[in-house]
């Protein structure tokens, strides 16, 4: 049994080669399950569920609606063999708890892989772990849940963790001297997050280290203009430092003398994006990991991010 939040909210059971998706029902029922999975093996109060499911004033019968969704979730999980997997949805006074082995939840497996990866000290080991972690993503997090501030905040927090893993993977490739692959990892993330200065700075430096100095400088000017137009601010210290390093034509650092991990022998191709700066591929080889791109935001202000509940 597998519980997925990194994309559409789903529960699958059966063999890995032919999984069967359990019928979870409407968005509010999936949202109840998602809130329980975001706090596995912890109680979630009815008040928290009500706040998450209704953006406006909840109906007078909100508790009854939630009870109905929990009852149907129990039935769906039981039909999927929950007992055999140690999964149980229980009631605790005015709260609910989903008891399960935490590794059945994709967010837990993702966080574990990212935490174990050390892109600076052990980059060859970090590359396959980070690729495996990013491979768990099947689309924007929490797809299929209701549109409410708590879910927007939770989805944003998960996306931040994904971008952190993308940046770590690029650092691991860079530590191995694989700058083309690092650029391929960062390029789609930069297109989707054009005001994320640290990510843009990293992309500029790896482009410079592949001999693409003009592309790196173009990214700086593009980002500087967007910061001025959308936020009314100048580039921050990290972005400015990367730009100055490129202008000084600083020497490219030597890669670590560490062997490539044989598990990372194949590299998926990066999609060509027609927008400037150009796709950072060299000699036709690409190295973008198989992860979903963040929502496109090539122009205009960054979306307003809601605080975590």
**Mean per-residue pLDDT, 166-171:** 98
Task: Please check whether residue 99 lies inside any domain of the structure.
Answer: yes
Rounded mean pLDDT of 132-156?
96
Q: Does 32 share its domain with 118? A: no
Residue 186 lies in a domain: yes
Q: Which of 225, 247, 264 lies at the terminal end of a domain, its last residue? A: 264
- Residue 185 inside a domain? The answer is yes
Are 141 and 99 within one domain?
no
In terms of Cβ atoms closer than 10 Å to its own Cβ (0-12, 13-18, 19+), residue 209 is buried
- Strand ranges (E), the chain: 2-4, 10-13, 20-21, 43-45, 88-92, 95-99
Residue 218 lies in a domain: yes
In a domain, 48, yes or no: yes
User: Is 239 exposed, middle or buried (CB count within 10 Å of its CB: 0-12, 13-18, 19+)?
Assistant: buried
Residue whose entry in the numeric block shows the structure tokens 């173009």: 218
Kind and range of the H or E run holding 205: helix 197-209
Express each pLDDT in 228-286 by its tens digit.
999 999 999 999 999 999 999 856 566 665 544 434 434 433 333 333 444 433 333 33
Strand, helix or coil for residue 298: coil
Same domain, 113 and 231: yes
**Are 53 and 128 contained in the same domain?**
no
Query: Based on the structure, what is the number of domains in the chain?
Result: 2
User: Are residues 91 and 68 located together in one domain of the fold?
Assistant: yes
Let me know if residue 291 belongs to a domain: no
Shared domain for 112 and 194, answered yes or no, is yes
CA–CA dist 36, 90 (Å, integer): 11
The per-residue pLDDT for range 169-220, each reduced to its tens digit, is 999 999 999 999 999 999 999 999 999 999 999 999 999 999 999 999 999 9
Query: What pLDDT, in 10s, does the model give residues 22-50?
Result: 999 999 999 999 999 999 999 999 999 99
* Model confidence at 307: pLDDT above 90: no
121 and 260 share one domain: yes
| Domain endpoint, select from 242, 264, 286 | 264
Alpha-carbon span 203 to 201, nearest angstrom: 5
**Residue 125 belongs to a domain:** yes
Closest CA to 217 of 195, 247, 190: 247
- Global pTM? 0.79
Which helix (H) or strand (E) segment is 65 a member of?
helix 62-79
Q: What is the pLDDT of residue 258?
A: 53
Q: Are residues 114 and 214 in the same domain?
A: yes
The reply to whether 141 and 50 lie within a common domain is: no
End-to-end CA distance of the chain: 28
List the CATH number of the domain containing 90.
Answer: 1.10.10.10
Most confident of 91-95, 130-134, 291-295: 130-134
Assess whether 142 and 32 both reside in one domain.
no
Let me know: does 225 contact 210? Beta carbons within 8 Å.
no
> Does residue 235 sit in helix, strand or coil?
coil
Domain residues for the domain of 168 are 106-264
| Residue 57 banded pLDDT, cuts 50, 70, 90 | confident
The domain boundary, picked from 55, 83, 104, lies at 104
- pLDDT, tens digit, 9 for 90 and up, residues 73-124: 999 999 999 999 999 999 998 999 999 999 999 999 999 999 999 999 999 9
Give the tokens for residue 122.
């052990």
Do 20 and 130 lie in a common domain? no
Q: Which helix (H) or strand (E) holds 158?
A: helix 149-175
What is the CATH classification number for the domain harbouring 175?
A: 1.25.40.10
Let me know whether 91 and 235 are in one domain: no
Is 309 within the bounds of a domain?
A: no
């Amino acid at each position: 049994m597998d519980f997925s939040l990194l994309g559409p909210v789903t529960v699958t059971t059966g063999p890995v080669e032919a999984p069967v998706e359990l019928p979870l029902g409407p968005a509010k029922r999936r949202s109840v399950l998602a809130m329980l999975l975001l706090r596995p093996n912890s109680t979630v109060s009815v008040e928290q569920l009500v706040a998450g499911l209704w953006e406006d004033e909840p109906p007078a019968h909100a508790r009854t609606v939630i009870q109905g969704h929990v009852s149907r979730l129990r039935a769906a999980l039981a039909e999927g063999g929950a007992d055999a997997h140690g999964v149980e949805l229980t009631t605790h006074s005015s709260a609910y708890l989903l008891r399960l082995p935490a590794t059945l939840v994709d967010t837990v497996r993702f966080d574990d892989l990212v935490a174990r990866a050390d892109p600076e000290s052990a980059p060859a080991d970090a590359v396959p772990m980070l690729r495996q972690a990013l491979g768990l993503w099947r689309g924007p997090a929490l797809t299929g849940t209701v549109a409410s501030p708590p879910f927007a905040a939770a989805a944003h927090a998960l996306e931040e963790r994904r971008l952190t893993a993308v940046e770590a993977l690029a650092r691991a490739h860079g530590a191995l001297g694989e700058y083309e692959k690092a650029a391929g990892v960062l390029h789609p993330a930069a297109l989707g997050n054009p005001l994320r200065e640290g990510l843009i700075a990293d992309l500029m430096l790896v482009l410079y280290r592949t001999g693409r100095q003009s592309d790196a400088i173009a990214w700086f000017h593009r980002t500087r203009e967007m910061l001025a137009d959308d936020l009314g601010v100048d580039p921050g210290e990290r972005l400015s430092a990367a730009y100055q390093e490129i202008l000084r034509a600083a020497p490219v650092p030597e890669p670590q003398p560490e062997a490539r991990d044989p598990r990372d022998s194949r590299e998926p191709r990066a999609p060509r994006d027609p927008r400037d700066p150009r796709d950072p591929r060299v000699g036709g080889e690409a190295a973008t990991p198989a992860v979903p791109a963040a929502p496109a935001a090539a122009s205009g202000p960054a979306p307003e991010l809601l605080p975590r509940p």
